[in-house]
Amino acid sequence: MRSTSDHSRRDVIKRAAALGLVAVPAMSTLAACASSATGGDKVEKGEKSAANPLGVNGSAPLDVVIFDGGFGDQYAKDAQAVYRKKFPGAEVKHAATQKIQSVLQPRFNGGTPPDLIDNSGAEQMDLGVLVGKDQLTDLTPLLDAPSYDDPDKKVRDTLRPGVAEMGQFDGDPVHVLYYAYNVHGVWYSKTALDRLDAEYPQTWDDMLALCAKAKKKGIAGWTYAGKNPYYLSFSLFPFMAKIGGRQVLDAIDNLEPDAWRDPAVRSALEAYYELQRKGYVLNGTPGLSHIESQTAWTEGKALFIPNGSWVENESKATTPDDFELRVAAPSGLDGSDKMPAGTLWAAGGEPFIVPAKAKNPDGGMELLRTMLGEQSSKNFTRQVSSLTSYDGGTEGLSLPPGLTSAVDALDKAGDNIVNPRIKDWYVALWKEKVGGGLGEMMAGRITPAEAVKKIQAYTDEAANDDSVKHYQHQ
Amino acid sequence: MHHGKYRFIAGFLAGPLALYTVFVIWPFLQAVYYSFTDWTGLSPDFAFTGLRNYERLLDDEVFWKSFQHSVLLVVLVPLVTIALALFFAFMLNVGGRRRRGAAVTGVRGSAFYKIVYFFPQVLSIAIVALLFQFAYNPGNGAINAGLRAVGLDSVQPDWLGDPDYALWSVMAVLVWCTVGFFVVLFSAGMSSIPLDFYEAALLDGASRVTTFFRITLPLLWDTVQSGWIYMGILALGAEAFAVVQIMTVGANGGGPDYSTTVLPLYVYVKAFRDGQAAYATTIGVALLVVTLAFAAVVMRLGRRERLEY
């Protein structure tokens, strides 16, 4: 009584079962790419001149891959138009993708990477690995070249503080140039604070008092991206630095054995834990994605959210017109803080790299130089309401409220800008382990003391793990 | 007459066999090969490191957590899914009240239920995971809203944000979205069981439960066994990866506090975030071993005399 259809059904199941084993073959088709390495031949260098300080070969093609995320790729196309005007003979190949690693991994393995990459987004390639495997061009010639607008100034001198250093992984060479410039901190709505008759709190006692006041009105004090609890560090890390000085964060970056046991770290964690204990964190926050938490915040369910300057663009759709978005540096703990008010985490974003095996590395660097000129930088800020690493370029632009407050916060911070490197040096440690520990604490499942112990154990583990490259603050 | 038979057969087999070797066997071997190197996935050069990756695996806490969760998934998810699917399929095909002119029939409206059950199957797993992500939202998600609607205001679990619930929430989604497929599969199997058997049982006064265990299940055993393996592989591989990666807490899913991480997710994270492709293939090999072991166990346990009808 067996019918033919019976057979084919079973076949389907068998085939599907075979498909279920994808994990291994998928890895190995990827592996297959590794065996086909061929050397990349560089294009001939062009004539160096005042107008062409990097000696770009004006007739050589240029191959650019841009991450097409929150910032889009129009700004890069505009900069390429400027480049092409200068080198009419150059053919510029532009590609935009969200899948940086999937698109570029085979090209790196095959030895034919593009000339300039915006290595950003969820599929960002690990910069530490790329540097460690000598896959990136040293960008020092670019930094030492005259700037696009002023031949008497080096590109290096037109950058915002800390940007060039961020591109250093090991010693002097600069392998990465961050194009966007993000201000991290505590984000809030001025309108919401006005309704409570409050100013942004300067000390932690004020913060707790304000949260208590908000709670009476049924508004939570804080929310955060509970699914990505590493967002907490955007306000927590500068808070630690403000309490105990820069070296607190340096110790964390250097994976020191007592980094997390520092009293400043402990105080900062206890301060945040108090928010949780007193019920000032929006209910259910540990289960929210970053978008959900931002939406709860723009809907006025919570006053404060730790985030970065991309949040203004990202939460645009749900932000009311009269929201008056603001960013502030973390409140201090008390009068004995080591760093002054305004201490802020600001750092480069959108890491641009020129692969070591690129055919036209000079062209890649020249395009970056163009992008770091005032015209292109202004264009970027106008298009995506975010700052670039070019210091300045906001004059004459009408900036949205959040970005305006970010510029003010930078002014106020002056030299007191911190830049924890754990974020780029040890991505897994920062995002998953430190973030996970902080998340557990803010969900009320572990105490600050337990969080310290847990995160320090993870830190020690990372310090002893020889499969990741270790870096030190210079 | 039989002259050249083997040459004839070999001629037909050579092509498929070659394709199979190039696209299935060879990649498997390559994956194993790369697990003995320190290849990053971001540069063409690598060196041999012998068993280093495997030694590292033994000490890797996150790997063992992923391993445990994968094993839990492969045991529980097929069990629940197949039990539910068998129950539903039985009700839809055999379990109905006796009506005039038909010895065996499903419950009223079974054609409609069949469509309802199958519906999740036509949705991409990514969409299912996204939908449930919204449903599990602790503040305004459908599930907690439902609890509030029936007066359970005090029971508002943070489904995906709480390590005690997260893995169970993920399993529920896996069951929800695959059960329909098995309902249809088992329905097809049941409809090929001769009606005379049921009629005879009914005449003997057998209850529905007896009918199920004495007639339906034994005659459906082959299908159940294949389904079991298929479901187990889904729970070990692609489906589990998608729901965990999209729904759960953590930079790449897998949280809170590694409470939902599974082997395929760990492969992905090591290969595509940490630039450790060789180590990822090592985990992939471990996943392969688990999958084969699972299939072997099910085949072994499920071995029965084949019933011809």
Question: Tens digit of pLDDT for each residue in A248-263?
Answer: 999 999 999 999 999 9
| Mean model confidence pLDDT for chain A | 87
> What letter would DSSP give residue A90?
P
**Cβ neighbour number for residue A38 with a 10 Å cutoff:** 10
Give the mean model confidence (pLDDT) for residues B94-103.
Answer: 65
- For residues A308 and A294, the answer to whether their CB atoms sit within 8 Å is no
Closest residue by Cα to residue B271 from A33, A113, A438: A33
SS3 B250: coil
Residues in chain B: 309
Top-confidence residue, B109 or A100: A100
Cis peptide bond N-terminal to A351, omega within 30:
no
- For residues A441 and A273, the answer to whether their CB atoms sit within 8 Å is yes
Could you tell me what percent of chain A has a pLDDT over 70? 91
Q: Do residue A25 and residue B28 have CB atoms under 8 angstroms apart?
A: yes
Closest residue by Cα to residue A117 from A364, A290, A323: A364
Which pLDDT score, from 0 to 100, does residue A469 have? Answer: 82
Q: Is residue A367's pLDDT more than 90?
A: yes
Q: Do residue B249 and residue A226 have CB atoms under 8 angstroms apart?
A: yes
User: What is this structure's pTM?
Assistant: 0.84
Cα distance from B90 to chain A (closest Cα, Å)? 19
Indicate the angle between helix axes B238-247 and B221-236, nearest 10 degrees: 40
Q: Do residue A25 and residue B271 have CB atoms under 8 angstroms apart?
A: no
Q: Is residue B100's pLDDT more than 60?
A: no
Calculate the alpha carbon distances from A456 to A236, A460, B292 in Å.
16, 6, 38
Calculate the alpha carbon distances from A276 to A232, A272, A291, B27, B31 in Å.
13, 7, 21, 50, 47
Top-confidence residue, A385 or A451: A451
Give the mean model confidence (pLDDT) for residues A380-403.
Answer: 88
Closest residue by Cα to residue B186 from B89, B117, B107: B89
Could you tell me what percent of chain A has a pLDDT over 90? 63
Return d(Cα A63, Cα A359) in angstroms, integer: 9
Closest residue by Cα to residue A6 from B294, B309, B107: B309
Which pLDDT score, from 0 to 100, does residue A7 have? Answer: 43
Question: Which of B31, B40, B136 is the closest to A287 by Cβ?
Answer: B136
Could you tell me what percent of chain B has a pLDDT over 90? 35
Q: Do residue B46 and residue A34 have CB atoms under 8 angstroms apart?
A: yes
Question: Which of B34, B42, B56 is the closest to A129 by Cβ?
Answer: B42
Q: Do residue B237 and residue A37 have CB atoms under 8 angstroms apart?
A: no
Q: Do residue A134 and residue B230 have CB atoms under 8 angstroms apart?
A: no
Return d(Cα A67, Cα A90) in angstroms, integer: 22
pLDDT (tens digit, 9 = 90+) per residue, A432-474? 899 999 999 999 999 999 999 999 999 999 999 888 888 887 6
Which pLDDT score, from 0 to 100, does residue A218 have? Answer: 93
Calculate the alpha carbon distances from A149 to A143, A416, B116, B300 in Å.
14, 28, 66, 75
Say if A129 is an interface residue toward chain B (CB within 8 Å): yes
Q: Which of B54, B273, B282, B306 to mutate to test the interface with A (most CBs of A within 10 A)?
A: B273
- For residues A119 and A352, the answer to whether their CB atoms sit within 8 Å is yes
Closest residue by Cα to residue A303 from A199, A169, A150: A199
Closest residue by Cα to residue A174 from A136, A216, A209: A136
pLDDT (tens digit, 9 = 90+) per residue, B171-225? 999 999 899 999 989 988 888 888 888 888 888 888 888 888 888 888 898 889 8
Under 8 Å CB-to-CB from A281, ≥6 apart: which residues?
A220, A221, A222, A223, A224, A275, A302, A442
Q: Do residue A126 and residue B267 have CB atoms under 8 angstroms apart?
A: no
Say if A270 is an interface residue toward chain B (CB within 8 Å): no
Q: Which of B42, B56, B164, B221 to mutate to test the interface with A (most CBs of A within 10 A)?
A: B42
Closest residue by Cα to residue B189 from B93, B78, B60, B304: B93
Q: Which residue carries 């409570």 as its tokens?
A: A196
Return d(Cα A141, Cα A143) in angstroms, integer: 6
Q: Which residues from A are below 8 Å from B290, CB to CB? A: none
Helices (H), B94-124: 110-122
